[in-house]
Structure 1
Amino acid sequence: MIDNMIFTHEIESFLEEDLGYNDISCKLVGEKPVKGIIFTKEDCTLAGLEVAQSFFDYFNIHYSTEHSDGDRLSKGDVIYSLSGSSLSILRTERLVLNFLGHLCGVATNTRNCVDIARRYSDVRIACTRKTTPGLRKYEKMAVIAGGGDPHRFNLSDTIMIKDNHVKLMGVEGALLSAKAKAGFTQKIEVEVESAADALTAATSGADIIMLDNMGPGEVINTVQMLKRSSIPGHIIIEVSGGINMDNLEDYAKTGVDIISMGSLIHQSRWIDVSLEIIV
């Protein structure tokens, strides 16, 4: 293991995919000491430093940076100064730039959404499990760098009763079964599509109520109804489904505690990051 973010076997798996079996291009220049910089070609929020540094450590590339994940960078800012073997730097170049470009994109998208929401409330912006297979932990850490909440990392973190559970068992039945099986540290979340089911979940022991695929007006009405009904104060109200930067403002005004958005990750745009060798 290199650090808490990435394991050696993961690095080697990524390298196996990228290098192949006969890497001629990186060998063309021969083995020589070189210096280089990695810089951003556009404004962004920085994420992915631990991943990049894991590759540098693996190849014994010396690096320095003045930045931390979550920093706001301007076009032209240098992220890393590098020195080491020309072969090593060329071999790690594309992998490092791919991770930085993707993760900075997620962090930047998240930061933009957090900034929009903060104009209207202190609602927390969270991502979902709609992540790229194999890259979830990196993408969720990028959401954190952008000021967002990672939500569940996997199915074991929180018991979530979704629409198909409700169809098969009903809200009360599903909650009863979940509470019987839950460990004492686990919260139970219920996904509902109506105000009536939200109230049932609140009075049946849910810790989190997710209002799924409701329009902003329906969300406001449901939140107000729940508050009039004097639901337990510990209950968290979340809204999710079809929320993006275009309609986020309306949802930020609804009074919910959490807005979860798959679009933080799957609608993020890569940031243009480049490596330049300094001769």
Structure 2
Amino acid sequence: MKATYLTEQSIAEFISRALAEDVGDGDHSSLASIPNEAQNQARLLVKGEGILAGVELAGYIFKQVDTDLQVEVLLQDGAVVKYGDVALTVKGKAQSILTAERLVLNCMQRMSGIATYTHYLNSLIAGTKAKLLDTRKTTPNFRMMEKWAVLIGGGVNHRFGLFDMIILKDNHVDYAGGIREAIEATHRYLKAKGKDLRIEVETRNLEEVKEALETGGIARIMLDNMSPVLMREAVALIDGRFETEASGGITEATIADVAKCGVDFISVGALTHSIKSMDLSLKAY
């Protein structure tokens, strides 16, 4: 595990909530049609191409459904896969395999889609110093797994939520009365609360960049929806004094040009909100 949010407890709690949603008071299809003592096996088949993700999570799901299930992992998270590959096999009580099936597939299909797209966008900025970031544009109650998939695909996690980093976005700045006012109010708040959080401020033009530089007391300046020409000017103006992050409507068609502007980070909401899931299936054999 590579991130603080990925703990045995957090994963177990996620699986419990997901199983409660799906299974309720029982998997009656399996309980009704399959003998309780039946033992069987299944393999997880890849029916697409890309980067596999969610294998480790699948192991946790199978074990939480039934500790006696035996999982053999054939392809690890991060593996490059193609149609026909077998990611893992599972053996044990047939009812348990069927109960876990949909949750395993739902998680792995979406996670693999995210990892695949992350890997692809990373390939477009190879050779630059820019690192690819995810955002909070995630599926409610599934953020942990989506951010995990970004890591597997070679991306970098931005803040996990509203609690572990401060980002003063355009609405914060406008409501506070300006860049300086927002930053200074934030420092007063952090001091009063005894908190030590990194601060990032979003800027929309060179005037706001200059105001952020003059105010200081921040870790990163976000350059939002700026053209490559304007972004280069902003990066030159900042001149390494603070980290820089490009954000806002960045696509696979524009990300390479953005990276060439010299920013440290590029955040892309589409990593988690606009991906195509990888086709996977669990088949008896």
TM-score, normalisation: structure 2: 0.89
Q: Cα deviations across residues 231-264 of structure 1 (Å, max 9, x unaligned)?
A: 62xx100010101212212212111000000000
Deviation, structure 1 residue 13:
2.5
Deviation, structure 1 residue 71:
2.1
Partner of 1:25: 29
Q: Cα deviations across residues 53-99 of structure 1 (Å, max 9, x unaligned)?
A: 11111122110113332222222221111101110001111110010
**Contact 1:39–1:275 (CA under 8 A) maintained in structure 2:** yes
Partner of 1:39: 45
Partner of 1:196: 207
Deviation, structure 1 residue 221:
2.1
Partner of 2:170: 163
**Contact 2:75–2:86 (CA under 8 A) maintained in structure 1:** no
C-alpha separation in 2, matches of 1:93 and 1:84? 13
Q: Partner letter of residue 11 of structure 2?
A: I
Structure 1 stretch displaced more, 211-220 or 137-146: 211-220
1:32-181 matches, cutoff 5 A: 32-58=38-64, 59-60=66-67, 61-118=69-126, 120-169=127-176, 170-181=178-189
C-alpha separation in 2, matches of 1:178 and 1:159? 9
Tell me whether 1:218 sits opposite 2:230 in the alignment.
yes
Deviation, structure 1 residue 219:
1.1
Structure 1 stretch displaced more, 47-56 or 265-274: 47-56
The sequence identity of aligned pairs, in percent, is 35
C-alpha separation in 2, matches of 1:71 and 1:113? 17
Tell me whether 1:11 sits opposite 2:21 in the alignment.
no
TM-score, normalisation: structure 1: 0.91
Tell me whether 1:187 sits opposite 2:195 in the alignment.
no
Deviation, structure 1 residue 184:
6.4
Q: Partner letter of residue 101 of structure 2?
A: E
**Contact 1:3–1:54 (CA under 8 A) maintained in structure 2:** no
**Contact 2:166–2:198 (CA under 8 A) maintained in structure 1:** yes
Q: Partner letter of residue 34 of structure 1?
A: N
Deviating beyond 4 angstroms after TM superposition, the runs of 4 or more aligned structure 1 residues are none
Task: Say if 1:141 and 1:219 are closer, same or farther in 2 by CA, change over 3 A.
Answer: same
Deviation, structure 1 residue 2:
8.6
Task: Say if 1:62 and 1:104 are closer, same or farther in 2 by CA, change over 3 A.
Answer: same
Partner of 2:272: 265
| 3-state DSSP of counterpart to 2:222 | strand
Structure 1 stretch displaced more, 85-94 or 165-174: 165-174
Structure 1 stretch displaced more, 19-28 or 33-42: 19-28
Partner of 1:251: 258
Q: Cα deviations across residues 168-219 of structure 1 (Å, max 9, x unaligned)?
A: 2211111112123335642110001011111211231221000111122221
Residue segments in structure 2 that go unaligned for 5+ positions in a row: 1-5
Structure 1 stretch displaced more, 267-276 or 19-28: 19-28
Q: Partner letter of residue 272 of structure 2?
A: I
Structure 1 stretch displaced more, 178-187 or 94-103: 178-187
C-alpha separation in 1, matches of 2:128 and 2:236? 16
Q: Cα deviations across residues 91-141 of structure 1 (Å, max 9, x unaligned)?
A: 1111100100000111111110111111x4121000100000001111001
> In the comparison of the two structures, how many residue pairs are matched?
271
C-alpha separation in 1, matches of 2:199 and 2:7? 34
